[in-house]
Structure 1
Amino acid sequence: MDIDEGIEIVESSVGKEMVENVGKDTVVEPHKGMEFESEDAAKVFYDEYARQIGFVMRVMSCRRSERDGRILARRLGCNKEGYCVSIRGKFGNVRKPRMSAREGCKAICMFMLSLKSLENGW
């Protein structure tokens, strides 16, 4: 991590992003109404939040526009969210049974493209 005059470069699962340095012990919690410049900025924010709290972020789902395929909403959450659903085929197990990492964690955040700023904001 490089720190230079209150700006810090954070390396996350989606790449490197410059964010404002608010302090090592400060945890900015996501809340309704937050706005981001891009989808990647939202991912970087939630990835950093997850790291500070102590879980690993994963992309859970996305909703795309039927018209042009643009991403309208993205759900991010803990990699241990929910429970693993058994995968069974017509003739029994399809895959070798493995231990599941899912524990039912409820950490989820939904990011949606803002209607008033379709051109430039999340």
Structure 2
Amino acid sequence: MGRINKRNYEKSTDYLCWWYVQFTYRQKTTEELKNKGVDVLVEAVGVIEGEKHIRNKDYDLFLVSPQTKMYLNQFQSIGKEVDVPVVAIPPQAYIPVPMGIKKMADLVDKEI
């Protein structure tokens, strides 16, 4: 479902409004993915910026956090218009502990 970013051959993932998660969680998720052989850039943005990034196709995959799930249908519609996948993060993958990090990495790996 992802595409390779032709500018730097790196897949990228964006977390919409993942405001409470610290840099170390994103870093650990990135490390978990790299250990699986999946080279990605994991970033976080707010809901307002997220819509703009989806429309601009700035990332290969957009994950919507549980607390912003009310925007999921709206973001998925925009994603369909521009052919970019938008996926909900299940609550079990949104916990900054080893199990949550693994589930998040598995989700990203499956969807890109």
Higher relative contact order (CA 8 A, sep 6+): 2
Fold shared by both chains (TM-score > 0.5):
no
Structure number with the higher strand fraction is 1
TM-score with structure 1 setting the length: 0.24
TM-score, L = length of structure 2? 0.25
Q: Decide which structure has greater helix share.
A: 2
Please say which structure displays the higher CA radius of gyration: 1
